[in-house]
């Protein structure tokens, strides 16, 4: 009976729960000792995708598009192929490796993507979680040559044709999503595109240059303990992306870190809280400018961007925000706000007058519960970081 080593294995997992990432999924995510099933500790029915392990439900080769992750997402289970909220929840474990594919999630029922983790490093506390990730999903398309922005993302979450809403509860843990079109700003090259869906990301990384993150119409997103690499206009439409305890790594400046097109009278906007906004540690000084980055520029006069308790290094421009076109003033109908910014980029004395410097009391109206008008059930509040 091999229950003794297995008992030790699970004991070590239990012990690690103190510093765990997702208490719900960590035991599934940890790589297993030789001879144990990769799916040990996973919820029943979990599918396993691997680029190397022939015992996986879906395997792919490292060359060419194999659509390994996409194939697993498309597997019919219950009523998951149609947009049927609350049924047919699917969990997919993705093994260590590189996956060269574009993932397009159109299923409506809950979906969880889990990146495998090394038990030796999963819970180390150095930096935020993406530094321990073993799973990379990437593509290399950029806008131009007949392609629109929307055709370039590595991860798309949205409704299938004719459905009013896409995924009601999409979650990804410990996965790096990258657009490797170039190692410099070549053109819009999206990593994520999320429209009409509720999505959340835990310990992930998102890497590109221009337009890394597209928050499309009607999406609610929560990103925690993650790193977003980009330059120029992460762009957003009426929707709510909330970035909590992330690193926003500026690979260069241009446009704004946020570029928002808003709607009057809503809480739609981009919210960045308890995060580190910094010059990217991976910038190559020979190919990027070393200018100062603006926290935001308004795509329309109702732009909303709220920065709560962030650390800002000296890559942030002293003015904070700028207009869409140079020479214009920032419209007074925008809502740009900061509360308790700190660090070298957080000297408020030269901020544009349209920046609302919030008091502690005022900041309370921009808490997560206020912004989403509830404590969203689609957020994994047990995730620890």
Give the binding site for ligand NAG (CB under 6 A).
39, 47-48, 55, 57, 85, 104, 106, 151, 156, 160-161, 165, 168, 180, 182-183, 198, 220, 247, 276, 278, 281, 311, 347, 349-350, 372, 374, 376
Rounded to a whole number of angstroms, the minimum distance from the CB of residue 19 to ligand NAG is 18
Sorted by sequence, the CB contacts under 8 Å of residue 295 that are 6+ apart come out as 256, 257, 258, 277, 305, 307, 316, 317, 320, 321, 336, 338
Token couple for 77: 């289970």
In whole angstroms, the minimum distance from the beta carbon of 336 to ligand NAG comes to 19
Token pair recorded at residue 105: 């999630």
Q: How far is CA 128 from the centre of its chain?
A: 13
Q: End-to-end CA distance of the chain, in Å?
A: 36
Phi, psi (rounded to 5 degrees) for 310: -105, 150
Nearer to ligand NAG, 85 or 264 (CB): 85
Q: Which is nearer to ligand NAG, 104 or 300 (CB)?
A: 104
96 versus 151: smaller Cβ distance to ligand NAG: 151
Which residue, among 192, 181, 245, 232, has the nearest Cα to 215 in the 3D structure?
192
141 phi, psi to nearest 5 deg = -100, 145
Nearer Cβ to ligand NAG (375/382): 375
Reference 272, options 253, 250, 247, 249; nearest CA is 247
Structure tokens at 312: 């800002």
Residue 264's CB is within 10 A of a number of other CB atoms, namely 11
* Closest distance of CB 183 from ligand NAG, Å: 4
**Looking at beta carbons only, is 166 or 262 nearer to ligand NAG?**
166
What stretch of H or E contains 70? helix 68-74
Least distance (Å) from ligand NAG to the CB of residue 321?
A: 16
Copy the structure tokens of residue 123: 């819970």
Q: Which is nearer to ligand NAG, 135 or 240 (CB)?
A: 240
User: What's the closest the beta carbon of residue 301 comes to ligand NAG, in angstroms?
Assistant: 25
Name which of 39 and 334 has its Cβ closer to ligand NAG.
Answer: 39
Which residue, 183 or 333, has its beta carbon nearer to ligand NAG?
A: 183
- Hey, what are 235's tokens? 């762009």
Rg (CA), the chain: 21
Least distance between ligand NAG and beta carbon 198 (Å): 4
d(CA 50, CA 135): 10
Instruction: Report residue 197 as tokens.
Output: 């869906």
Rounded to a whole number of angstroms, the minimum distance from the CB of residue 209 to ligand NAG is: 11
Question: How many angstroms separate the most distant Cα atoms in the chain?
Answer: 75
Give the number of other Cβ atoms within 10 Å of residue 292's Cβ. Answer: 15
Cβ 210 to ligand NAG shortest distance, Å? 14
Residue 266 tokens read as 């809503």
Q: Output 292 or 311, the one with its CB closest to ligand NAG.
A: 311
**Dist. CA 277–CA 316, nearest whole Å:** 8
Q: Which residue has the tokens 């835990």?
A: 202
Minimum CB distance to ligand NAG smaller for 20 or for 198: 198
Q: How far apart are CA 287 and CA 47, in angstroms?
A: 42
Smallest distance, ligand NAG to C-beta of residue 377, A: 7
What is the nearest approach in angstroms of ligand NAG to the Cβ of residue 15?
A: 27
């Amino acid at each position: 009976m091999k229950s003794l080593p297995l008992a030790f294995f699970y004991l070590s997992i239990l012990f690690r729960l103190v510093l765990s990432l997702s208490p719900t999924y960590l035991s599934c995510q940890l790589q297993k000792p030789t001879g144990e099933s990769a799916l040990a500790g996973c919820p029943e029915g979990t599918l396993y995708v691997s680029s190397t392990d022939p015992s996986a439900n879906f395997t792919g080769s490292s060359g060419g598009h194999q659509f390994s992750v996409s194939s697993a997402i498309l597997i019919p289970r219950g009523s998951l192929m149609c947009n049927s909220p609350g049924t047919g929840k699917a969990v997919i474990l993705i093994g260590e490796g590189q996956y060269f594919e574009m993932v397009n999630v159109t299923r409506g029922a809950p979906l969880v993507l889990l990146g495998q983790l090394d038990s030796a490093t999963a819970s180390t506390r150095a930096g935020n979680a993406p530094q321990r990730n073993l799973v990379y999903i990437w593509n290399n398309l950029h806008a131009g040559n007949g392609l629109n922005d929307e055709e370039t993302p590595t991860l798309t979450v949205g409704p299938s044709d004719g459905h009013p809403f896409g995924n009601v509860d999409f979650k990804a843990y410990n996965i790096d999503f990258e657009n490797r079109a170039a190692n410099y700003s070549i053109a819009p090259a999206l990593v994520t595109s999320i429209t009409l869906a509720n999505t959340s990301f835990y310990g992930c990384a998102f890497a590109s240059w221009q337009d890394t993150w597209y928050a499309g119409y009607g999406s609610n997103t929560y990103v925690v303990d993650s790193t977003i690499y980009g330059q120029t206009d992460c762009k957003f439409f009426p929707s709510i992306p909330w970035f909590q305890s992330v690193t926003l790594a500026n690979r260069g400046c241009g446009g704004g870190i946020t570029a928002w097109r808003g709607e009057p009278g809503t809480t739609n906007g981009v919210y960045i809280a308890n995060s580190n906004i910094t010059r990217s540690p991976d910038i190559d000084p020979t190919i990027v400018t070393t200018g100062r980055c603006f926290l935001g520029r308004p795509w329309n006069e109702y732009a909303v961007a709220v920065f709560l308790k962030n650390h800002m290094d000296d890559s942030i421009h002293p003015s904070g925000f700028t207009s869409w076109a140079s020479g214009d003033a920032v419209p007074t109908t925008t809502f740009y706000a900061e509360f308790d910014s700190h660090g070298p980029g957080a000297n408020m004395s030269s901020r544009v007058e349209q920046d609302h410097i919030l008091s502690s009391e005022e900041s309370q109206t921009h808490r997560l519960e206020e912004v989403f008008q509830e404590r969203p059930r689609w957020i994994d509040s047990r995730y620890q970081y």
